[in-house]
A and B are shown apart, each in its own frame.
Chain A
Amino acid sequence: MIAADRVLYLQMRIARFDDQHAYKELFTSFYSYLFQFAFSFVKSQESAEEVVSDVFIKIWEKRKALEKINNLKVYLYVATKNNAFNYIDKQKRNATNSIDDFPAEFASRYFDPEQLLITADMLALIEDAINNLPPRCRAIFKLIKEDNLKYKEVAEILNISVKTVENQLAIALRKIGSAVSFDIKKTISSPVNHP
Chain B
Amino acid sequence: MEQEWIWNLIAKKLSGESTQEELQELEVFLRSNPDLHYSMQTIIDLWNSEYESGPGHENTHQAFTKHIERMKKSGIDFPSGTEHNYPTYSSAYSEISSNSRRKSNILLALGSVVVFAGILFLGLKIFGSNNQVKQSADPEKNTISEISTKNGSKTTLTLPDGTIVKLNAGSKISYDDKVYGSSLREVNLTGEAFFDVVKNPEKPFVIHTGKINIRVLGTAFNVKSYPGEKNTETSLIRGSLEVTVKDRPSEKYILKPNEKLIVANDETVKISATIKRAEKQPTVQEPIVALKHLTYEPKDSTIVETSWVENKLIFQDQNFKDLATQLERWYGVKINFQDPEQEEMRFTGIFQNETIQQALEALKLSNRFSYTISGNQVTILK
A residues neighboring B (CB under 8 Å): 3-6, 8-9, 12-13, 16-22, 24, 27-28, 31-32, 35-36, 49-50, 52-53, 56-57, 60-61, 67, 107, 109-112, 115-118, 122, 126, 144-146, 150-151, 166-167, 169-174, 176-177, 180-182, 184-185, 187-188, 192-195
- With A and B bound together, what is the CA distance between A19 and B15 in angstroms? 33
Closest to A31 in B: B60
Q: Which of B102-117 contact A (CB under 8 A)?
A: 104-105, 108, 112
Which of A13, A61, A115, A171 has its CB near the most chain B CB atoms (within 10 A)?
A: A115
Contact B28 A194 (CB under 8 A): yes
| Docked complex Cα distance between A126 and B45 (Å) | 12
A60 to B32 CA separation, bound complex (whole angstroms): 55
* A185→B46 CA distance, assembly (Å): 21
Whether the Cβ atoms of A192 and B29 lie closer than 8 Å is yes
As a 0/1 sequence over residues 63 to 77 of chain B, the CB contacts with chain A under 8 angstroms (1 = contact) are: 110110011001010
Q: How far is the CA of A3 from the CA of B97 in the complex (A)?
A: 11
- Cross-chain pairs A/B with CB under 8 angstroms, 29 sampled: A5-B126, A6-B98, A13-B122, A24-B64, A28-B64, A35-B63, A56-B67, A57-B74, A57-B76, A60-B71, A67-B108, A110-B53, A111-B46, A111-B52, A115-B49, A116-B42, A144-B15, A145-B14, A167-B4, A170-B10, A170-B11, A173-B7, A173-B43, A174-B3, A177-B7, A180-B46, A182-B42, A188-B3, A194-B28
Contact between B108 and A187, CB atoms less than 8 A apart: no
Q: Which of B59, B60, B86, B126 contacts A6 (CB 8 A)?
A: B126
Consensus secondary structure, chain A interface: helix
Chain A CB within 8 A of B381 CB: no
Q: Which 9 A-B pairs have the closest CB atoms?
A: A182-B39, A107-B53, A170-B7, A32-B55, A17-B86, A169-B11, A193-B32, A170-B8, A174-B7
In-complex Cβ contact of B97 among A5, A146, A150 (8 A): A5
